[in-house]
Amino acid sequence: LAGTRIICDRKFLLECKNSPAARTPPCCLPQTPGVTSLAQSSLAKLEELKERNESEEAVPGEQPRAVGR
């Protein structure tokens, strides 16, 4: 097997995560729904879940429902 092994120490890698380049997406990155940006259907689902959670929080005195059972 041939190849190049890149070795970085922990301190360097931890410093890289705070770099401005690591915080922003590249300017020439194509917009692909569901990959580089949220899909439109995902946005609709998120809004629906948010509205449902807000309406459940607005009903005082009601017992919270078990989710996933």
Read off the pLDDT of residues 9-67 as tens digits, 9 standing for 90 and up. Answer: 999 999 988 888 887 777 787 887 777 776 666 667 778 888 888 887 766 665 556 55
Query: What's the domain count of the chain?
Result: 1
Which pLDDT score is estimated for 9? 92
Is residue 14 one of the residues assigned to a domain? Answer: no
Is residue 38 one of the residues assigned to a domain? Answer: yes
Is residue 22 one of the residues assigned to a domain? Answer: no
The rounded distance, in Å, linking the Cα atoms of 65 and 38 is 28
In a 3-state reduction of DSSP, which class is residue 10? helix
The rounded distance, in Å, linking the Cα atoms of 4 and 29 is 27
CA dist list (Å): 17 to 13, 24, 25, 30: 7, 11, 13, 23
Is residue 35 one of the residues assigned to a domain? Answer: yes
Tell me the residue range of the domain where 34 lies: 28-52
Which pLDDT score is estimated for 10? 93
Is residue 46 one of the residues assigned to a domain? Answer: yes
Which pLDDT score is estimated for 61? 60
Residue 69 has pLDDT above 60, yes or no: no
Q: What is the DSSP letter of 67?
A: S
Is residue 45 one of the residues assigned to a domain? Answer: yes
